[in-house]
Structure 1
Amino acid sequence: MMSNIEQVIQGIGPLQEEAIARAEGHLNQLTKPPGSLGKLEEIARQVAGITGETMPVFEKKAVVVMAGDHGVCEEGVSAFPAEVTPQMVMNFLAGGAAVNVLARQAGADVVCVDVGVNADLEHPQLVSKKVRKGTRNMVREAAMTREEAERAIMAGVEVVEDLVRKGYTLFATGDMGIGNTTASSSLLCALTGLEAGLAVGRGTGINDETWLHKQAVVQRALEVHDPLGEDVLDVLAKIGGLEIAGLVGVILGAAKHGCPVVIDGFISSAAALVATRLAPLSAAYLIASHLSQEQGHRRLLEAIGLEAMLHMDMRLGEGTGAVLCFNLIDAAGKIMREMATFESAGVSRS
Structure 2
Amino acid sequence: MPTPFVTLSDFSALLRDLPGPDAGSIATARARDATLTKPPGALGRLEEVAAWYCGWRGDARARVCAPQVVVFAGNHGVVAQGVSAFPSEVTAQMVANFEAGGAAVNQLAGVAGARLDVRALDLDRPTGDIATGPAMSEAGCVAALTAGWEAVDPGADLFVAGEMGIGNTTSAAAIALAIHGGTAADWVGRGTGLDDAGLAHKAQVVARAVAANPARGGLAVLAALGGRELAAMAGAIARARSQRIPVLLDGFICTAAAACLEAEVPGALDHALAAHVSAEPGHARLLDRLGKAPLLSLGLRLGEGSGAVLGIGVVQSALACHSGMASFSEAGISGAPGPEA
What's the TM-score, normalizing by structure 2? 0.93
Q: Distance in 1 between the 2:68 and 2:336 partners?
A: 40
Q: Distance in 2 between the 1:223 and 1:349 partners?
A: 60
1:61 matched to 2:87: no
- Find the counterpart in structure 2 of residue 245 from structure 1: 231
1:321 matched to 2:307: yes
SS of the aligned residue for 1:262 comes to strand
Q: Distance in 1 between the 2:326 and 2:287 partners?
A: 35
Shift in Å, 1:331:
0.6
Q: Deviations over 1:277-329 (max 9, x none)?
A: 23333321001111100000011111221110101000000000000011111
CA RMSD of aligned residues (A): 1.5
2:209 is aligned with what amino acid? A
- Find the counterpart in structure 2 of residue 130 from structure 1: none
Aligned length in residues: 330
Structure 1 residues 61-210: aligned runs within 5 Å:
61-118=67-124, 133-160=125-152, 163-164=153-154, 167-210=155-198
Q: Deviations over 1:98-143 (max 9, x none)?
A: 000000000011111112322xxxxxxxxxxxxxx22111112211
SS of the aligned residue for 1:154 comes to helix
1:290 to 276, 285, 296: 276
Gaps of 5+ in 1: 119-132
1:311 to 297, 304, 320: 297
Q: Distance in 2 between the 1:53 and 1:276 partners?
A: 26
Q: What percent identity do the matched residue pairs reach?
A: 40
1:267 to 253, 256, 279: 253
Q: Distance in 2 between the 1:24 and 1:326 partners?
A: 21
- Find the counterpart in structure 2 of residue 41 from structure 1: 47
1:227 to 207, 215, 218: 215
2:329 to 324, 327, 343: 343
User: Which stretch shows the higher mean deviation, 57-66 or 308-317?
Assistant: 57-66
**Shift >3 Å, 4+ stretches:** 1-4
SS of the aligned residue for 2:267 comes to helix
Q: Distance in 1 between the 2:323 and 2:280 partners?
A: 37
SS of the aligned residue for 2:234 comes to helix
1:13 matched to 2:1: no
Asked whether the equivalents of residues 50 and 259 of structure 1 are also in contact (C-alpha less than 8 Å), the reply is yes
Q: Distance in 1 between the 2:72 and 2:172 partners?
A: 14
What's the TM-score, normalizing by structure 1? 0.91
2:52 is aligned with what amino acid? Q
Residues 267, 116 of structure 1: CA spacing in aligned structure 2 closer, same or farther, 3 A cutoff?
farther
Shift in Å, 1:6:
4.0
- Find the counterpart in structure 2 of residue 124 from structure 1: none
Q: Distance in 1 between the 2:93 and 2:28 partners?
A: 48
Gaps of 5+ in 2: none
Q: Distance in 1 between the 2:39 and 2:289 partners?
A: 32
1:227 is aligned with what amino acid? A
